[in-house]
Amino acid sequence: MKVKNMDTTYWSVDKNVDNMENYPQIAQAADLLTKNEVVAFPTETVYGLGGNAKSDDAIRKIFAAKGRPSDNPLIIHIAAKSQLHEFVVQVPATAEKLMDHFWPGPLTIIFPYQKGSLSDGATAGLDTVGVRMPAHPVALAIIKKSGLPIAAPSANQSGRPSPTSALHVKEDLAGKIAAIVDGGTTGVGVESTVIDCTSEVPVILRPGGVTKEQLEEVIGEVRVDPALTDTSEKPKSPGMKYRHYAPDAPLYLVDGSREELQEFINEGKKAGLKIGVLTTKENAAFYDADYIFACGERAQLETVASSIYEALRSFNKADVDVIYSEMFPNEGVGNAIMNRLMKAAGQRVLKK
């Protein structure tokens, strides 16, 4: 489907407004969704590009605007658990516990899907469907006002860093979508955790805002899809095979000390390259590079997660030739950070 150039309406909404559902901009955004247009709106993770999950036309518009591969299924966003019965065959007991504990919030649950109840494009022809209830008041109000299940991938050009502000959405999608609702910057900063509850032992397909440890506190044993760490494994979800979040310049993760990372910087400078470094506040003053972005504090990995996409996008504006990044512990939210960085780097890791 060819994307026609259109006027993209831009609304600013205060997420603290009372009676949010009847706020004029919310009502107008919901009206566009009922007319099968696509609208970008904030969630607590990243900005989403929403469309009527029941409409083939709306789903085609989402894929066209993003340039997203058609075999990559979309996550369905709802405002009430009762909406599940429209398109889910059954709710496993583990899923019920997770919904009670983490919804609304940054957790996507995979359910068995009732074929034909949504657009085939939204589920990529699978017999399962991923669903979440966002915690952001603007997202919830828009979904509730529309009365629809809303398919909403991240509101960015496919492959680029995900958007954590309305400005990021404008950079990627202005002229390609009907409207953008600006509700301020997002909080978590990385996408939702995706957990498959259709198997006996639930499986994490994507680490995100809810950690494995937090999930296990609620439902016991949780496994991690081997494809998350072993690229030779076939991913359970089609979307796991694609490169995501990449800045314009090649990104390399450095498995080593600060001194070893600086050696790579020095070698790049000798080759006449403009070097960028992704680090944290604790280490920023150590490096001698052309552009340095400190994305939060290593002692508080949540702060790194909340600004990782802003960091990756900032390197494009700095016009660097190559980017070197520190690595982070693969524990807690660090799993989500490393998952995003490894995808952005195309699995490229350097060691001395």
Annotated binding site for ATP, which residues?
72, 128, 152, 154, 162, 206, 245
- DSSP element (H, E) containing 163: none
Distance of CA 9 to the CA centre of its chain: 23
Alpha helices in 174-279 (DSSP H): 212-219, 258-270
150 Cβ contact list (under 8 Å, min separation 6) = 33, 48, 50, 51, 52, 53, 76, 77, 78, 142, 143
The whole-angstrom separation of Cα 202 and Cα 212 is 11
Closest CA to 136 of 69, 40, 31, 28: 40
Task: Measure the CA–CA gap between 134 and 276, rounded to whole angstroms.
Answer: 34
3-state secondary structure 72-108: CCCCEECCCHHHHHHCECCCCHHHHHHHHHHCCCCEE
In the annotated binding site, the residues are 45, 68, 72, 77, 128, 132, 152, 154, 162, 192, 206, 245
Amino acid at 163: P
Are the CB atoms for 55 and 36 separated by under 8 Å? yes
Do 155 and 48 touch, CB atoms closer than 8 A?
yes
Binding residue ranges for L-threonine: 45, 68, 77, 132, 192
| Helix (H/G/I), strand (E/B), else coil: 257 | coil
What is Dmax (Cα atoms) for the chain? Answer: 61
CA distances from 37 to 2, 58, 60, 83, 120 (A): 15, 6, 10, 21, 17
Helix, strand, or coil (residue 289): coil
Q: Which residues pair with 52 in a beta bridge?
A: 150
